[in-house]
Amino acid sequence: YWQRHIRTWFNQPARKYRRRQNRIKKAKALFPRPAKGPIRPIVHCPSQRYNTKIRPGRGFTLAELKGAGLTKRFAQTIGIAVDPRRQNKSVESRQENIQRLKEYRSKLILFPIHKREKLRKGDATEEECKLAKQLSGPVMPIKNAKPVVTLGKISDGQKKFGAFQAIRQARLHARFYGARAKKAKDAADNENNQPTTTRSATFLPPSLHTTHTTHRHAHTHKSIKNAQPSRSAIRAPPGQPQTTPTTRRERRRRARSKLMPLSLVAPAFFGVRRDCDRHLESRNRYAESGNHTNTPEHTHPHTVAVDRVLKCE
């Protein structure tokens, strides 16, 4: 079971030694070139989360090589990585990599390929070649700059400043910028197009100067106590009939009572059919008593109702 399914790591020290020997062998094969490979450009990490960080890229673009005065073929022979697929999306990044190439070119020591009496432009002398050392680390390493924090005393204005309110106001202005600009433009156009006319003010009694104040819009008023009640909440003075219903439920109830037929209203108030005889007897006794007149105002209240019930039947 152990030989087939369990993998051990007893050869870890030997692997470490073997990797080290391979690195030494590779560096000797690359001498005098850097052991870590060619120089890489500075690129920004993708996505909005990491685009503020920089890292080494795959290779320099053709526009960056042209800005540094190099060709693609020559750049590959002097230890510069080239990536023709990458495109520069900003002038800042292109200028930064061009400056990086120029700095690398100024520090570069070119060994002549063939021994000649007259050296070519840019080739190093024999003394410079003897003093040159192979670079074991990365060429011109890229480091993210750390922000510098400066300390100081907090002023009175900074103490009184409300950061939360300022942020909310900025968001509000950004949200309603277009609507407010359009409203101001329309108002200016209306003022320029319409002639100036005098308007007659209409004065209403104090009882009708009302403001519809609800719980949702109560915060728009400076004082809740000074807010006027709505028109639906105005009640008639004592001794006068109430013309406007007080609530929506009251208005609906009155509307239903007006539209309901008598065949449904009368039985609801005067009971079932067998109770009609009792109301007829009451009407007859009231007529025989002689304490009434023939005017509609003094008619017994049950008379009209019972007649309606009998007609509905």
**Predicted pLDDT at 196:** 57
CB-neighbour burial class of residue 39 (10 A; exposed 0-12, middle 13-18, buried 19+): buried
**Predicted pLDDT at 306:** 45
Q: Backbone phi, then psi, for 80, in 5-degree steps?
A: -120, 125
The pLDDT of 212-231, averaged and rounded, is 47
For residues 212 and 227, is the Cβ–Cβ distance under 8 A? no
Q: Backbone phi, then psi, for 253, in 5-degree steps?
A: -65, -40
Q: Pick the most confident of 191-200, 236-245, 251-260.
A: 251-260
Q: Is the pLDDT of residue 295 over 70?
A: no
Place of tokens 């590779």: 26
Omega prior to 112 cis, within 30 of 0: no
Handedness of CA 230, 231, 232, 233 (dihedral sign): positive
Concatenating the DSSP letter of every residue in 81-97 gives -B-TT-----HHHHHHH
What's the rounded Cα separation, in Å, for the pair 251 and 244? 8
Handedness of CA 183, 189, 194, 198 (dihedral sign): positive
For residues 61 and 83, is the Cβ–Cβ distance under 8 A? yes
Q: Which runs of E-coded beta strand occur in the chain? A: 42-44, 54-56
CA dihedral 224, 225, 231, 232 (to 10 degrees): 80
**Predicted pLDDT at 259:** 58
Concatenating the DSSP letter of every residue in 34-54 gives -TT-SB--EEEPSHHHHTT-E
Least trusted range by pLDDT, from 33-37, 115-119, 242-246: 242-246
Report which of 104, 115, 111 is spatially closest to residue 130, judged by C-alpha positions: 111
* Count of beta carbons in the 10 Å neighbourhood of residue 98: 21
Q: Is the pLDDT of residue 251 over 90?
A: no
The domain spans of the chain are 9-131, 253-312
Q: Is the pLDDT of residue 62 over 90?
A: yes
* Count of beta carbons in the 10 Å neighbourhood of residue 60: 30
Which two structure tokens, joined as six digits, stand for 37? Answer: 């490979």
